[in-house]
Amino acid sequence: MSEVENKVVPVESEEKDYVEDGKNKLIVKCKFCGSKILDKKSAKYITLEKELPLMQQDNNRKEGEIQNESVNEFYHVENMYTFENIGFTHTVANCKYLSCADCDAGPVGYYDMETKHSYVAISRIVHA
């Protein structure tokens, strides 16, 4: 039963240097242009598993194919007007993707049409 050793241990949010009191300690910005997406301490840190289309799709991919990756660290935004600057795409399968309002890079996260909550993928933004 040595499998236990391989089990992924969930990282405590307290260990993250960008999280404070369960929220984003720093300003959240676009990786590409620096546009301000969230003010500091405005969103909750959460972990959940979600497939998101890659920000940079391979140009040689098959037509119509979308390359995804699994993302598991997010900032949870309950009210969309909490965002400083953000774009919402048209709805795809009960969700809207979030994009940078200044350079349109994305998806930087998604918006759930049912709960009306937004989730910003931490791996796709920078802190400042």
Q: Which stretches of the chain bind another protein, using CB under 8 A?
A: 32, 34-36, 39, 42, 53-57, 66, 78-92, 96-97, 99, 101-107
CB of 47 to Zn ion, least distance (A): 25
102 in contact with Zn ion (CB under 5 A): yes
Distance between CA atoms of 92 and 30, rounded to whole angstroms?
A: 23
CB of 15 to another protein, least distance (A): 26
Among 27, 28, 30, 38, binds Zn ion (CB under 5 A): 30
Distance between CA atoms of 123 and 74, rounded to whole angstroms?
A: 8
Beta-bridge partner residues of 24: 19
54 in contact with Zn ion (CB under 5 A): no
Distance between CA atoms of 32 and 82, rounded to whole angstroms?
A: 21
Binder of residue 46, out of another protein, Zn ion, none (CB less than 5 to 8 A by kind): none
> Which residues, at least 6 apart from 23, have a Cβ–Cβ distance to it below 8 Å?
41, 42, 43, 44, 45
Residues that bind Zn ion (CB under 5 A): 30, 32-33, 35, 100, 102-103, 105
